[in-house]
Amino acid sequence: MLEKIEHIGIAVKDLEKSEALFNALLNQTPYKREVVESESVQTVFYQSGPNKIELLQALAPESAIAKYIDKKGEGIHHIAFAVDDIVAELARLKDAGFQLIHETPKEGADGKLIAFLHPKDTNGVLIELCMDKNK
Amino acid sequence: MLEKIEHIGIAVKDLEKSEALFNALLNQTPYKREVVESESVQTVFYQSGPNKIELLQALAPESAIAKYIDKKGEGIHHIAFAVDDIVAELARLKDAGFQLIHETPKEGADGKLIAFLHPKDTNGVLIELCMDKNK
């Protein structure tokens, strides 16, 4: 089951500048900053009630975030839904005809197991499923 | 205060097709469908825990949703944050240097008073503030 929007990921060019902007917007500072080496991204996370906002800046030109910004500009990169059982949910969605970018979950930022669906099946919206690793 | 992500708005070309897709993704059917005449859009809403997903289809070529799809294709159109006092929050954000598309709140879908911030100040992310009308 997709339980809620866990976070929204926003691709930014200049994290320092964007952080100042989101600090002002959300009236708070990030609760976490984390480099995800496997994705070549620097991230910061804000809490917004039950949801999070993740800003992502590429650390290398081959990063998916760098490629996204080259193609579409800065903006919302993905929506992540919290799931109670990521393996079961991936199986359900595959059976329903969705194309999976990751057939099995991988480690993501913020202590999560994650997997992405292919945006061609989801109206151009890149959708992530995520589950707490210690669940 | 921005309390949570109230909803994410997704611009779609063919609501019937996208509805079938989101029914499968979210494993549910919409709890509401509503035409917003002032915006020339047909909307449907899904609940995802504390959050909602809104699909928007243009009903006329001059609709903001039609223009968005022409320019950027289908995808995430806006993020709406729930606020406890929309007038106070607009004043706070204006003071903080954000450009407001709506200086005063207007009526939106789903029983809300709404106002948008200009995406040029927010990393290309169109941000809506919304508050229950009966609050």
Read off the pLDDT of residues B74-83 as tens digits, 9 standing for 90 and up: 999 999 999 9
| For testing contact with chain B, the best of A7, A18, A25 (most B CBs within 10 A) | A25
- Å from A28 to nearest chain B CA? 10
Place of tokens 């919206």: A125
Rounded distance between C-alpha atoms, residue B80 and residue B130, angstroms: 7
Q: Is the pLDDT assigned to residue B121 strictly greater than 90?
A: no
- Å from A77 to nearest chain B CA? 9
**Is B10:B76 a contact under the CB 8 Å cutoff?**
yes
**Is B46:B31 a contact under the CB 8 Å cutoff?**
yes
Rounded distance between C-alpha atoms, residue B41 and residue B33, angstroms: 11
Q: Is A97 at the interface with chain B, CB within 8 A?
A: yes
Rounded distance between C-alpha atoms, residue A55 and residue A76, angstroms: 9
Strand partners, B4: B82
Residue B111: partners with Cβ closer than 8 Å, 6 or more residues away: B132, B133, B134
Using an 8 Å CB-CB cutoff, list chain A residues near B123. Answer: 10, 12, 18, 21, 74-75
Question: Would you state the pLDDT for residue B14?
Answer: 96
Q: What is the pTM of this model?
A: 0.94
Using an 8 Å CB-CB cutoff, list chain B residues near A72. Answer: 72
Closest to A122 (Cα-Cα) out of A66, A78, A68? A78
pLDDT of chain A along its 135 residues, tens only?
899 999 999 999 999 999 999 999 999 999 999 999 988 999 999 999 999 999 999 999 999 999 999 998 999 999 999 999 999 999 999 999 999 999 999 998 888 999 999 998 898 899 999 999 886
* ipTM exceeds 0.90: yes
Q: Is B5 at the interface with chain A, CB within 8 A?
A: yes
Question: Would you state the pLDDT for residue A110?
Answer: 86
Rounded distance between C-alpha atoms, residue B48 and residue B23, angstroms: 12
Using an 8 Å CB-CB cutoff, list chain B residues near A75. Answer: 76, 123-125
Distance of CA A36 to the CA centre of its chain: 11
